[in-house]
Amino acid sequence: MEWAASNLIESILIIGIILLIVEIVVLGFSTFFLFFTGLAALATALIMWAGLIPETLHSALISIALFTVVFAALLWRKLSKLQNKVDHKRADSDLIGHTFVLSENVEAALPMKDKPQYQYSGINWYLNAHEDLAKGTLVEVIQADVGSLVIKAKQS
């Protein structure tokens, strides 16, 4: 603890870097508080090193608090826009393209609970189709949703 007090600038710099690493790497930039505080600690260490404010714990705490508010005011809007970007693209699935032969008829109009199921990889998948498919038809998976597979007749 004595080292931290006698090397205040280096201590604040290390704390700032740790806060930035935790915010970006560990938390994935999900909260901004640690980011703003880390930037404020770096700025405080820089202005203390330049001799613009006295090298005391009291002035360091005030400076970090003020810089945190300033960085939050300046960067909040831009950073919150980064979080609002939503990717609506479907995730690729290795199930797409899987082919199998139907063991039951698949009727497109049936409600989900009445649809036939297909067991694959230890999971019972409900089978959905845009058209009625007869038992024994070779089908291909064209879309995988939660608990259900959308299939179509495979063209040979």
In CATH, what number is assigned to the domain containing residue 146? 2.40.50.140
φ and ψ of 124, to 5 deg: -90, 115
Cα 25 from Cα 14, distance rounded (Å): 16
Q: What is the pLDDT along the chain (156 residues), one digit of tens a residue?
A: 677 667 899 999 999 999 999 998 988 877 888 999 999 999 999 999 999 999 999 999 999 999 999 999 999 888 877 777 777 776 677 888 899 999 988 988 888 888 999 998 888 999 999 998 988 899 999 988 888 899 999 886
Phi-psi region of 147 (alpha: psi -120 to 50; beta: other; left: phi over 0): left
Task: State residue 56 phi and psi, 5-degree precision.
Answer: -130, 155
Host domain of residue 25: 2-83
Q: Are residues 7 and 79 in the same domain?
A: yes
156, 138 in Cβ contact below 8 A? Answer: yes
Evaluate whether residue 90 is within a structural domain: no
Q: Is residue 25 part of a domain?
A: yes
At residue 64, what is the residue type? I
Q: How many domains does the chain have?
A: 2
Q: Say whether both 59 and 107 belong to one domain.
A: no
Question: What local confidence, expressed as pLDDT, does residue 42 receive?
Answer: 96
